[in-house]
Homo-oligomer: A and B are copies of this chain.
Amino acid sequence: MTVRNEELSHLKEVILRMAGLVEAAIRDSVQSLVGRDSELAKKVIAGDYAINTLDVQIDEECIRLLALKQPMGKDLRFITTAMKITTDLERIADNAVNIAERAIELNEEPQLKPYIDIPRMSRIAQGMIRDTIDAFVNEDKKLAKDVIMRDDTVDDLNHRIWEELMGIMIRDSSTISRAVKISYISKYLERIADHITNIAETVIYMVDGKIIRHMLPDQI
């Protein structure tokens, strides 16, 4: 039995919806910090339920298709890729929840410094999600590779934020609790970019049937 086209389109659609919610969760969690808006942070935390529901729904749909349609070749790879992608999307959303939780705590104290690099990391991560899901839906290997390359910029920003916060803490120990929380948010964003990189690698595998996880960038 072959998987009908509309079944695959429906699967793509649900994944696009999930990715849209996850992208919004990243954006809103960082906005709740930058705009000192704890109500928005609470919305991000509450919204995780819908994302978890989609995760389970997509997983069940994939296993149903594997069991009933016994797909081969390209369809098989598409479905196993979908299962891996949603696992990463769900964990990205968990990281957005972590950011929102830290934002609520930070919003209760005076602001340590203007946030500049953290919104930048967030914008890069949002673009990475959009492009990696586009790459998945359109089987665009080039775009997926481009996403992987952007991970380095996020790593560099995380490192820069860490150095800056270390300086602030050493000069004034009353900043330690806030500075460490901000460093956690930066770490969460870095981990989000790592998850997106995992997704992009899985997409490349889907397109050409070659596992590139654990390869160095110049081998890809």
Contact of B55 with A213 in the complex, beta carbons under 8 Å: yes
Known: A166-B176, A180-B180. Contact between A63 and B77, CB under 8 A?
yes
Whether a CB of chain B sits under 8 angstroms from the CB of A214 is yes
Whether a CB of chain B sits under 8 angstroms from the CB of A84 is yes
Whether a CB of chain B sits under 8 angstroms from the CB of A116 is no
Known: A66-B76, A70-B70, A176-B176. Contact between A55 and B169, CB under 8 A?
no
CB distance from A71 to the nearest CB of B (A): 9
**Nearest CB to that of A68 among chain B residues?**
B72
**Nearest CB to that of A77 among chain B residues?**
B63
Give Cα distance in the complex from A56 to B87, angstroms.
17
Q: How many residues of A contact B (CB 8 A)?
A: 30
Residues of B within 8 A of A31 (CB): none
23 contacts between A and B (CB under 8 A): A52-B214, A53-B214, A55-B214, A56-B211, A56-B213, A60-B211, A63-B80, A66-B76, A67-B72, A67-B73, A67-B76, A70-B70, A80-B80, A80-B83, A83-B84, A87-B87, A166-B180, A169-B173, A170-B173, A170-B176, A173-B176, A180-B180, A180-B183
